[in-house]
Amino acid sequence: MLHYAIVFFIIALIAALFGFGGIAAGAAEIAKVLFFIFIIVAAVTFVLSLMRRS
């Protein structure tokens, strides 16, 4: 999932470079959502792995 967030971030940077503001904003928003989902899933997985060791 982090891979897709990075891909959309790069798409946003390239679109902004060429002047496509709407596409850049959309891709940046998708990248932001995917990144936060990745952070939540990583945190839940970390907590579950700590609970399993106990």
Residue 34: predicted pLDDT: 93
Nearest partner of 12 among 21, 29, 24, 30, judged by Cα? 24
Total number of domains constituting the chain: 1
CA 24 – CA 14 distance, rounded (Å): 8
CB 2 within 8 A of CB 14: no
Residue 12 has pLDDT above 90, yes or no: yes
- Give me the residue label for tokens 């579950």: 48
How confident is residue 15, by pLDDT bands cut at 50, 70 and 90? very high
User: 3-state class of 1 per DSSP?
Assistant: coil
Full-model pTM: 0.78
CA 36 – CA 40 distance, rounded (Å): 6
Mean pLDDT of 29-54: 93
Residue 43: predicted pLDDT: 96
Domain that holds residue 13: 2-53
